[in-house]
Amino acid sequence: MVIRRRGRELAKKILYLRILTRRIKRRKELNKAPRIHKFWERKVLKERIEFGQYHTLFKTLIKNDREWFFRYLRMTPERFSHLLSAVEPYLKIRQDRGRTAISAEERLVITLRYLATGDSMASQTFNFRVGRATVSNIIREVCDSIWTALNKKYLRLPSSESEWMAIAEKFESDWNVPHAIGAVDGKHIAIECPKFGGSMYYNYKGFHSTVLMAICDASYSFVWTSIGSYGRDNDAAIFGASSFFKRADFGTLKLPPPSVVGGQQLPYVLLGDDIFPLKTWLIKPYGGNNLTDEEEVANYRTSRGRRTIENTFGVMAARWRIFRRPIRANIETVDQITKAVICLHNYLMQTDNAHYIPSGFVDSWSNGEFKEGEWRSVVQDDETGLQNIRRVGSNNYTATAKETRDRFRDYFNSQEGAVPWQYDVVHNCGPLAS
C-alpha cells in the first residue's frame, strides 16, 4: 500500500511538471509573436508641434512676456538660455523611428514646468502632447543632467579658511552673528509609498518620506546637503553618519582657528535648532522655561542667523512646487528631482537673485521688528511636502560645548556685541524671541 501511494504521488508530480513545461513553452511562443499595436502613435500626440505647450505658450512667452515667463519657469529668458547651454551637452537625444526627436530645449521646458508646478507627469503629457513614458524618461534624464552640469560649481562645500571666513563675515554683517559658518536643518520630503519599500520610508509623523539634511550660508544658498536617507531612520544616526558631521568632529573641515571677538575667544560654529546636539562647532538655543535675560538674548541673536535655513527651504518650496505634495515617483527619481531642484535654487540665487527672491520675499528685521517673508503665504504648512524633522540628538553635551555656547552668550550681552534693540525684543516677546 505504501508503494502504491508513493507511485501515485510520483505520477502526480510528473503530470504537474509536464503541464508546467507546456505552459512555459506556450508563453515563450507568445512572447516571440510580434506585438500588435492599435496605432503606432496617438493622433493627439502627432499634433505636438501644432498644439503642444512648448510650441505655443512657451514660444510666445519667451518672445513677448518676461513677467509671465518667469512665473512659467521660475527664471528669466536669459537665465533659461544660459541654463540650456550648460545642460544640453549632457543630454542624449535619440531619434525614434518615424518620429521627430524632442529637442533639448523642449526637454528642459517640460522638466522645469514639472518642477515648478508640482503637477503630475500625466498632466505634462496632456500639456506638451508627449507620451507618458517619454515624459518620465525626460524628467529623469534632465534632472540628472542638471545635477551633473551645476553641482560642482553652484553646490560646493568651502575647502579653505578664506572661503569659510567669507561666509562668516556675511553672517556677521547681515545677521549680527560672528563666526557663523552656516545654519543647519533637516526636512522630510513626502513621497508616495515606494514599491517594495515596506516600512523603511514610513516615518514617525505617519507618512512616507526621505530625509534631506542641509546647511546654508547667509545668502540663502545651500553649501552642503545629504539626500535620500530612509524616512524611518533615527534622525540622530542620519546626521551623525553624514560626511559633514564626521569631518567637523575630526576637525578636517579646514575651519579658521578661534579668535578673540569682543573680549571672547570664539570658534567658528554652525547654527542649529534644538533638534541638534550641542557641539564645540555647533551651537543651539538654551532650553527650558526659566532662562535668564542673558540666555534669552543669546537665543534671540542666534535665531536671527538660524532663520536663514528656514527661509532657504521656504523659498525653494515656494518657487519649486514639486514639494507641495507627496512626490509620485520611484525613490531613485525622487532623489534625482531633489538634487536638481537644490542645484537650480543655488544657480538662480547666485546668478539672478534679484528676480528669484525680490524684496520682501524672505523674512527681514528692521530695528528688531520682525517681518515675515512673502514665501510664507505661498507655502502653507498643511500642504507642503517638506516637513520638519524631530530631535536628532540627546540633551547630553560636553563641558567644552557648553563653554562655547556660554562664550557666545557673553559676547551677545557685552558692550561690543550687543545690538540696541535686543533687550526690547526679549522683554516684549520673551521666549518667542527665540
In this predicted model, what pLDDT tens digit does every residue of 280-306 receive, in sequence order?
999 999 988 889 999 999 999 999 899
Q: How many domains is the chain partitioned into structurally?
A: 2
Distance of CA 246 to the CA centre of its chain: 21
Q: Provide DSSP, 115-132.
A: HHH---HHHHHHHHT--H
Verify that 144 and 184 share a domain, yes or no. no
Using DSSP's 3-state secondary structure scheme, residue 259 falls into strand
Same domain, 300 and 424: yes
CA angle centred on 336, ends 334 and 341, rounded to 5°:
95
Domain that residue 147 falls in:
43-154
Q: Are residues 402 and 323 in the same domain?
A: yes
Mean pLDDT of the chain: 87
| Domain membership flag for residue 73 | yes
Q: How far is residue 125 from each of residues 24, 97, 143, 363, measured CA to CA in Å?
A: 37, 20, 17, 37
Pick the last residue of a domain from 154, 180, 197.
154
**Residue 52 counted as domain residue:** yes
Residue 408, CA distances (Å) to 74, 307, 310, 321 in order:
39, 18, 22, 38
Report pLDDT digits (tens) over 347-358.
999 999 888 998
Residue pair 316/187 in contact by the 8 Å Cβ criterion? no
End residue of a domain, out of 135, 154, 173: 154
Paired strand residues for 269: 180
Q: Report how far residue 339's alpha carbon sits from residue 348's, in angstroms, rounded to the nearest whole number.
A: 14
Give yes or no for residue 391 having a pLDDT over 80: no
Average pLDDT for 78-89: 96
- 187 and 112 in one domain? no
C-alpha span between 19 and 219 (Å, rounded) = 70
239 and 356 together in one domain: yes
* Rg, Å, the chain Cα set: 28
Q: Are residues 211 and 70 in the same domain?
A: no
Q: Is residue 379 part of a domain?
A: yes
pLDDT tens string 5-35: 566 677 777 877 788 788 777 777 666 656 5
Same-domain check for residues 112 and 194: no
Position 384 pLDDT exceeds 80: no
Tell me whether residue 148 is exposed, middle or buried, using C-beta atoms within 10 angstroms of its C-beta: 0 to 12, 13 to 18, 19 or more.
middle
- Both 221 and 77 in one domain: the answer is no
Does residue 123 sit in the same domain as residue 267? Answer: no
Last residue of one domain, picked from the residues 127, 154, 181: 154
Q: Is residue 233 part of a domain?
A: yes
Nearest to 367 by CA among 302, 314, 304: 304
Task: Give domain status of residue 389, yes or no.
Answer: yes
Assigned domain for 424 exists = yes
